[in-house]
Amino acid sequence: MGSGAAALGVLRVRAAMADRADQEGLERRLDWTSAGCVDLSLRVDMKRSVLVLFVAAAAACSPAPPAPADITGTAAKYTVTGRLEPIDMNRVDSVAVEDGKFVAHGVGIAKKDLPADADATKPSGHWSLTTETAKGKNRLITFTQDETLDEFQIEIPGDGDVHYGTLKNKAGNADVMLMAWGADNRCYWGYVTITPK
């Protein structure tokens, strides 16, 4: 018995388990299929095409991460400016400076050049993330200086804990905060320079 005949036999066994009305309709369809009127590979290709279209539509509906963008913070006693950009990671769990590069660790890893003015040999740990609130699709986060209690705020996209660290700039008169955050394949890294007014 050929493979086509064996497949037809299996389908007829399944049809025998259905009720009588369904069985007659299935046998008619099987006879039509076995007569060569429908190419089963075409059905598989059509299913694959539908799957590809579904995946493409889902991807098109997912919001794309923003392109690199400037960050401008608000503060009474500081000028806060910087930049953020998407990174190719699933989730950010920690950050570090390694071999003169900013490194985000998590589900994936991202290595970025430090901002030109950051001094990797001079850590400055006086800033703490103190509040975080929703602002439309973004988040407004506030950092507080632990000695003076001065604050600044920046607005960032995405979800996930913000991991950060601060270095002095090369002139020693400003701080450069490096940060990374994100979850669910929407991760970012960025920096801000915090200069007293």
Which of the four pLDDT bands, split at 50, 70 and 90, describes residue 13?
very low
Is the pLDDT score of 121 beyond 90? yes
Q: Which of 61, 81, 103 is the last residue of a domain?
A: 61
Q: Which domain holds residue 146?
A: 69-196
Same domain, 174 and 104: yes
Segment 67-91 mean pLDDT: 94
Segment 149-155 mean pLDDT: 96
Same domain, 117 and 100: yes
Q: How far apart are CA 6 and CA 30, in angstroms?
A: 12
Which of the four pLDDT bands, split at 50, 70 and 90, describes residue 191?
very high
% of the chain surpassing 70 pLDDT: 66
Any residues with CB less than 8 A from the CB of 34 and at least 6 apart, and which? Answer: 4, 8
Which of the four pLDDT bands, split at 50, 70 and 90, describes residue 38?
very low
Segment 86-94 mean pLDDT: 95
92-120 pLDDT, tens digit per residue, is: 999 999 999 999 999 999 999 999 999 99
What's the pTM value of the predicted model, to 2 decimals? Answer: 0.67
Query: How many domains, the chain?
Result: 2
pLDDT of residue 8: 42
Same domain, 41 and 134: no
Any residues with CB less than 8 A from the CB of 51 and at least 6 apart, and which? Answer: none
The 3-class secondary structure across the chain, one letter per residue, is CCHHHHHHHHHHHHHHHCCHHHHHHHHHHHHHHHCCCCCHHHHHHHHHHHHHHHHHHHHHHCCCCCCCEEEECECCCEEEEEEEEEECCCEEEEEEEECCEEEEEEEEEEEEECCCCEEEEEECCCEEEEEEEEECCEEEEEEEECCCCCEEEEEECCCCCCEEEEEEECCCCCEEEEEEEEECCEEEEEEEEEEEC
Same domain, 185 and 140: yes
Which of the four pLDDT bands, split at 50, 70 and 90, describes residue 66?
low
Q: How far apart are CA 105 and CA 56, in angstroms?
A: 30
